[in-house]
Structure 1
Amino acid sequence: MMTHVIKKPDWIRIRPPSGKKFLGIKKIIEDLKLNTVCSDARCPNMGECWSNGNATFMILGSICTRNCGFCGVEKGTEGESLSALEPGRIARAVEKMGLKYVVLTSVDRDDLPDSGSEHFANCINSIKSMDKEIIVEALIPDFRGDELCIRKIIAAHPDVVGHNIETVKELQAHVRDERAGYDLSLEVLKKIRQMSSSIHAKSSLMLGFGETEGMILKTMDDLRSAGVSILTLGQYLRPSVIQLEVKEYISPEKFEYYKRIACEKGFISVMSGPLVRSSYMAEKSLFSKD
């Protein structure tokens, strides 16, 4: 059956990676055998972020045990063996890159008894042990809602803990793996705030799956009720023909509108735009509402 592919509008312009700083970051990551969500998830901002000396490290391997319809990361029923050296390599990369704000994220590891939470915490601890002044943002999977797994992350004292709800409630089954879910994600975010009042809770929404404005605003309300204070909104871009089609391209003006609404609803920081991703300019999102 023929499908209609919507043409990308002019405001979706992705600059190709280039520059000395970009190449330097690329070499550090390759030399230390690390994964980044920038390249594995085919992020459109990789050139900009790496050229500015920013990168989001993806830990727990490069194979995800979930099969979300939007994601371009490699899938499998089992991930790679965890390397005890990874936390130290992450810390060395942070030092070499001179980072003061670090984002750690991971694939889902449903094949591991603790979903990889202890390893995730070890990576946070490795950075904090090197320099406790470095701000660490942990963008975590749902850990199947396991409170002990979430508590391990909180005990490592990251400054921000993010968990992405990804889309509105009505489209969860269409967009995300069946093991994920809207209510599960809200519970994870609530637990983050219940376990620590000093940690900022963060979440992200992709737009363009066919959601309505009313659905988006309701999701904002639900996230605020769960204790989320930092929100990012971005356009869903199809990584390849295997993933879900884009139903709509949201204009920059509409993203600005949603940002104003989100700020009015009480989020302390909102990043909203066609090319915004959950860790895009993360260091700025923590300190600025404008």
Structure 2
Amino acid sequence: MKKPEWMKVKVNPTELKYMEEFLKTVKLNTVCQSAHCPNMGECFSRKTATFMIMGNVCTRNCRFCAVDKGHPMPLDDDEPMRVAEAARALNLKHAVITCVTRDDLPDGGASHFARTVRELKKIPGLTVEVLVSDFRGNEEAIRTVVESKPDVINHNLETVPRLYPAVRPMADYERSLFLLKKVKELDSAIYTKSGIMVGLGETEEEVVDLMKDLISVSCDMMTIGQYLRPSLSHIAVVEYVTPEQFERYRKIGYGLGFKYVASGPLVRSSYNAAEGIDAIKESAFR
């Protein structure tokens, strides 16, 4: 399908150079590069990125994702420290850390996540957001991440339950909701967040039902963005959702009780992530 005007992004290659060279130097992966994010040029030009830990090869076979699939390499024990060093070098105020899904590890990589959070928490004033896998529903793994005290724990539902078999066949909708619910049970002070893609054939009613499911597990923040097909081997775009519909979803989300909703064609789960936590903190003082 031809992209509408509102999906077209201008990228100046010179804006990417500094961050690309910097990431090579510190030997870190970003989901920005691995997932072909359309906002990469903008974020890199502002010297921000979402670090992707535990390698760049995923054990799942989601049909929407550009990240490589296969057999991952062993964990890099020095990676948590390098992430913290990179955050210091970039003078980040809000660090976002995600991962490939590591079903090959007994705890799904939860302890590696926790080590990374603890290293980042040594930086004064830095808030930390983690975008985690479902850890196959392992409660101890979830507890391990929670006890490292990130400010935000994000786990994306990605799409409505009807589309899971086609879009993310190795995932489970109820398991993902369970993770978000468990985080709040373990530490209600941690903000929870989830995101979905639209344009895969979902209906508005299904999206609203999903929103209600997130509210039922006390999810604080939600992101909604347009799915873009990384290649012809990935699942096809069914429609390009209009900016007006995204605005409608945003208003519905606030009406249902979310503390923060980002909804727009180019919105991504980690894009301008600091805005969410800032908005919630500002509203608390009103």
TM-score normalised by structure 2 residue count = 0.96
- Partner of 1:34 in structure 2? 28
* Contact 1:230–1:285 under 8 Å retained in 2: yes
Say whether residues 1:146 and 2:141 are aligned partners. no
Alignment of 1:92-103 (within 5 A): 92-103=85-96
- SS of the equivalent of 1:288 reads helix
- Partner of 1:3 in structure 2? none
- Partner of 1:83 in structure 2? 76
Q: CA 1:247–1:147 in structure 2 vs 1: closer, same or farther (change >3 Å)?
A: same
- SS of the equivalent of 1:183 reads helix
- Partner of 1:49 in structure 2? 43
* Contact 1:269–1:287 under 8 Å retained in 2: no
Alignment of 1:202-241 (within 5 A): 202-241=193-232
TM-score normalised by structure 1 residue count = 0.94
**Deviation string, structure 1 residues 142-193 (Cα, Å, up to 9, x no partner):** 0000010011111111000000000011111111032x11111000110011
Q: CA deviation at 1:132?
A: 4.2
Whole-Å Cα distance in 1 between the matches of residues 162 and 221 of structure 2?
22
Whole-Å Cα distance in 2 between the matches of residues 258 and 241 of structure 1?
29
**Unpaired runs of 5+ in structure 1?**
1-5
Whole-Å Cα distance in 2 between the matches of residues 281 and 266 of structure 1?
21
Q: CA 1:207–1:123 in structure 2 vs 1: closer, same or farther (change >3 Å)?
A: same
Whole-Å Cα distance in 1 between the matches of residues 257 and 249 of structure 2?
13
Q: CA deviation at 1:248?
A: 0.7
Whole-Å Cα distance in 2 between the matches of residues 199 and 269 of structure 1?
14
Whole-Å Cα distance in 1 between the matches of residues 115 and 124 of structure 2?
14
The residue type paired with residue 89 of structure 1 is R
- Partner of 1:175 in structure 2? 167
- Partner of 1:23 in structure 2? 17
Say whether residues 1:69 and 2:63 are aligned partners. yes
* Contact 1:25–1:50 under 8 Å retained in 2: yes
Say whether residues 1:160 and 2:155 are aligned partners. no
The residue type paired with residue 87 of structure 1 is P
**Deviation string, structure 1 residues 195-252 (Cα, Å, up to 9, x no partner):** 1110000000100110000000000000010111100000000011110000010001
- Partner of 1:187 in structure 2? 178
Q: CA deviation at 1:50?
A: 1.2
Q: CA deviation at 1:19?
A: 4.3
CA root-mean-square deviation? 1.3
**Deviation string, structure 1 residues 234-272 (Cα, Å, up to 9, x no partner):** 000001111000001000111011101101111111111
* Contact 1:235–1:274 under 8 Å retained in 2: yes
Whole-Å Cα distance in 1 between the matches of residues 276 and 242 of structure 2?
21
